[in-house]
Structure 1
Amino acid sequence: MPLILDRADVLDVYDYTRQKKWVLPTFNSENLTTTEAILSAVSEYGEFIGINNLPIIVGITNTYKDRPQAVYYTHTKRWDIGLKLFLQDLKVLTDKGSAFEHLRVMVHLDHIIWDEDRDLLGWDMSQFSSIMYDASTLPFEENIRKTAAFVEQFGQEIVIEGACDEIQKSGGMNDPLGLTTPEVAVRYQNETGIDILVPNLGTEHRSKKSTLKYHGESARQISNQIGKVLCLHGSSSVSKKHLANLYEDGICKVNMWTALERESTKALFEEMVKNSAKVVGPEMTKTLIADKILAEPVDFQDTQSIKYFTTLYRQEIIFRKMKEIITHYLKLWYR
């Protein structure tokens, strides 16, 4: 089916997943391989559980400094070209006659920065199902003012996600750990009119590596006040037990990307080392062993083969591993 972009239709999907007690995953992408891996994994898992129109959100950041994915989508390093290609890829992959036309696919624009993305706001924003407006580098009062103005401008046609805490503060609003308090969450939701709230719950998106810890009790306290409208950014530091019970904590959506790239890169590296001679040839493999970059047990007898040194070879490994990772999360949340 065509991409789900209308606000009412998007909210219907959220209502559907809440009735199912599902958490909606948002997998971000910065290339076609990742986009296809997401859709392929969801399609196959839906067939496995007997629901062929599973909902899924595919997201992308724009100029977000921690990972400007639209910039990286093309070697031109132009966000506008990258974003157009991303949207066109999704449209083609979900149009009538495509392999994924049966899925309910939504498009999320992640971390639209209040100052750096001004030019983007002149676009036709109806191309997106939801937008995370990020003014969290600003003091709290200014964050509220900016976010409320964004909601007033676009909230009638697009589902809006917002972050209430100042990312750059080491402490946070009212909590020594930097966690979002229920009082802050309630005020932010009421005064901005956002649909989905990104609180600081201690995950890698908001914390230093040494202090990573998901605080489910904080999530439950907040959701008891404002409903199951929380979005978790970052899941790598969340235990499998907590991941499986995020809905009970009030989490309706999880945005992720790092785990896909990190784990698939490990798989690619291992596969290429095992097939070193086929990838770079026996002579270079011998040189790498002599330089102690590779160990002697690595096979250097095989000859180089086009099957092993092409982009297709590398992308296929990434594609398969990403599908495996995505399916892992689907099994946790679509039960």
Structure 2
Amino acid sequence: MTLVGTGELVARAAAAGGAVAAFNIITLEHAEAVITGAEAVAAPVVLQISENAVKYRHGRVLPLARAAVAAAEAAAVPVALHLDHVKSQELLRQAADAGFGSVMYDASHLPYADNLAATRAAADWAHASGLWIEAELGEVGGKNGAAALDAHAPGARTDPEEAARFVAESGVDALAVAVGTSHAMTTRTAAVDRELLARLSGALEVPLVLHGSSGLPDVELAAAVAGGISKVNIGTALNLAMTDAIRAYLTAHPSAVDSRKYLSEGRAAMVRTAADLITALGVNSPAAGVRV
């Protein structure tokens, strides 16, 4: 199956009142696991590579991007490739040539006026290059080890009226909103501000994106989708599954040196996690049996 655009998958999901799952990948094992999990529940999926993942790969985006494209082209379900949380102008301008169909440009750390100006310029460039673009307003928090903002801190939640102005003036295709989640959560204890999400959904005509979704229990994931979220970003949940499986294998096999043995365990754990989380969004029913 050929690579498809993120915008196409999000539009399909939004039209059906659902959401597409978007998983952040760091290794080839991540990409393979996400696709296999999506195939197991017959659902489309987005592979995301963040600026931090590119930094981890010595600042080179092409090796992992090309591997992800190859994996997507061999998939039995529609797969999109998305460049996530980009702040670097240099990296942004590599997106189209690297095979990405979309980008999330992140200037949310800047004051409103600066965020708007930077995002407008990024959106103009992205559209001229044939890319779908997502931005963020409010601050989800938790990136790069930083503590999440207090729920009542200024800027911690997205204001619906401000968001409507931002979307109209920036020209973005989707907006990531801050409604109670935080990046890098290792416990599933977060809750969605459902009243705020309803107001945002009513105020905005573009698809809404939820970041920091690993911290939400299944019931909250389903509530977020029912409340108007059309793209659900997940990263830490995969890393938890992989790390726990590898740790368990090496504890049971302390003399193991063949990385294929423990990476296989990590990949299998991520397959199950991806399939379970896609199912939790309420988009598809799980298929019988998960291939690992």
TM range (shorter): 0.7 to 0.9
Tell me if structure 1 keeps the 8 A contact 2:3–2:79. yes
Separation in structure 1 between the aligned mates of residue 150 and residue 277 of structure 2, nearest angstrom: 31
**Secondary structure in structure 2 of the residue aligned to 1:125:** coil
Shift of 1:244: 1.6
Q: 1:320 aligns with which of 263, 268, 272?
A: 268
The structure with the largest alpha-carbon Rg is 1
Shift of 1:123: 2.4
Separation in structure 1 between the aligned mates of residue 271 and residue 184 of structure 2, nearest angstrom: 27
Tell me if structure 2 keeps the 8 A contact 1:198–1:230. yes
Q: 1:161 aligns with which of 123, 134, 140?
A: 134
Separation in structure 2 between the aligned mates of residue 238 and residue 246 of structure 1, nearest angstrom: 9
Q: Where in structure 2 are there 5+ consecutive unaligned residues?
A: 285-292
The TM-score normalised by the length of structure 1 is: 0.74
Q: 1:79 aligns with which of 44, 59, 62?
A: 59
Aligned residue-pair number: 273
Shift of 1:145: 0.8
Q: Note if 1:178 corresponds to 2:156.
A: yes
Q: Where in structure 1 are there 5+ consecutive unaligned residues?
A: 47-53, 63-67, 281-307
**Gap change, CA 1:268 and 1:241, over 3 Å in 2:** same
Query: Which amino acid is the alignment partner of residue 81 of structure 2?
Result: V
Q: Note if 1:198 corresponds to 2:199.
A: no
- Residue 257 of structure 1 corresponds to 235
**Secondary structure in structure 2 of the residue aligned to 1:79:** coil
Aligned sequence identity (%):
25
Separation in structure 2 between the aligned mates of residue 243 and residue 178 of structure 1, nearest angstrom: 20
Q: Note if 1:94 corresponds to 2:72.
A: yes
Separation in structure 2 between the aligned mates of residue 206 and residue 311 of structure 1, nearest angstrom: 26
Tell me if structure 2 keeps the 8 A contact 1:182–1:222. yes
Shift of 1:3: 1.3
Separation in structure 1 between the aligned mates of residue 150 and residue 162 of structure 2, nearest angstrom: 14
Query: Which amino acid is the alignment partner of residue 272 of structure 2?
Result: E
Tell me if structure 2 keeps the 8 A contact 1:228–1:251. no
**Gap change, CA 1:239 and 1:256, over 3 Å in 2:** same
Matches within 5 A, 1:221-232: 221-227=199-205, 229-232=207-210
Tell me if structure 2 keeps the 8 A contact 1:200–1:206. no
**Gap change, CA 1:84 and 1:16, over 3 Å in 2:** same
Matches within 5 A, 1:97-108: 98=74, 100=75, 102-108=76-82
Separation in structure 1 between the aligned mates of residue 263 and residue 107 of structure 2, nearest angstrom: 35
- Residue 288 of structure 2 corresponds to none
Separation in structure 1 between the aligned mates of residue 4 and residue 94 of structure 2, nearest angstrom: 18
Tell me if structure 2 keeps the 8 A contact 1:171–1:177. no
The TM-score normalised by the length of structure 2 is: 0.85
Matches within 5 A, 1:1-335: 1-5=1-5, 10-46=6-42, 54-62=43-51, 68-73=52-57, 78-80=58-60, 83-95=61-73, 98=74, 100=75, 102-113=76-87, 117-123=88-94, 125=96, 127-156=99-128, 157-165=130-138, 170=149, 178-205=156-183, 212-227=190-205, 229-273=207-251, 275-276=252-253, 279-280=254-255, 308-333=256-281, 334-335=283-284
**Gap change, CA 1:241 and 1:135, over 3 Å in 2:** same
Tell me if structure 1 keeps the 8 A contact 2:22–2:47. yes
**Secondary structure in structure 2 of the residue aligned to 1:203:** coil
Separation in structure 1 between the aligned mates of residue 224 and residue 232 of structure 2, nearest angstrom: 9
**Gap change, CA 1:329 and 1:171, over 3 Å in 2:** closer
Separation in structure 1 between the aligned mates of residue 111 and residue 31 of structure 2, nearest angstrom: 35
Shift of 1:71: 2.4
Query: Which amino acid is the alignment partner of residue 24 of structure 2?
Result: N
Shift of 1:17: 1.7
Shift of 1:140: 0.6
Which of the pair has the greater relative contact order for Cα pairs under 8 Å at 6+ separation? 2
Shift of 1:57: 0.4
Separation in structure 1 between the aligned mates of residue 275 and residue 94 of structure 2, nearest angstrom: 34
1:4-35 superposed Cα distances (whole Å, 9 cap, x missing partner)? 24xxxx43332322233321111011111111
Shift of 1:178: 2.1
**Gap change, CA 1:212 and 1:20, over 3 Å in 2:** closer
CA RMSD between the two structures? 2.5
**Gap change, CA 1:91 and 1:201, over 3 Å in 2:** same
Shift of 1:328: 0.5
Give the 4+ runs in structure 1 shifted more than 4 A. Answer: 166-172, 174-177
**Gap change, CA 1:158 and 1:122, over 3 Å in 2:** closer
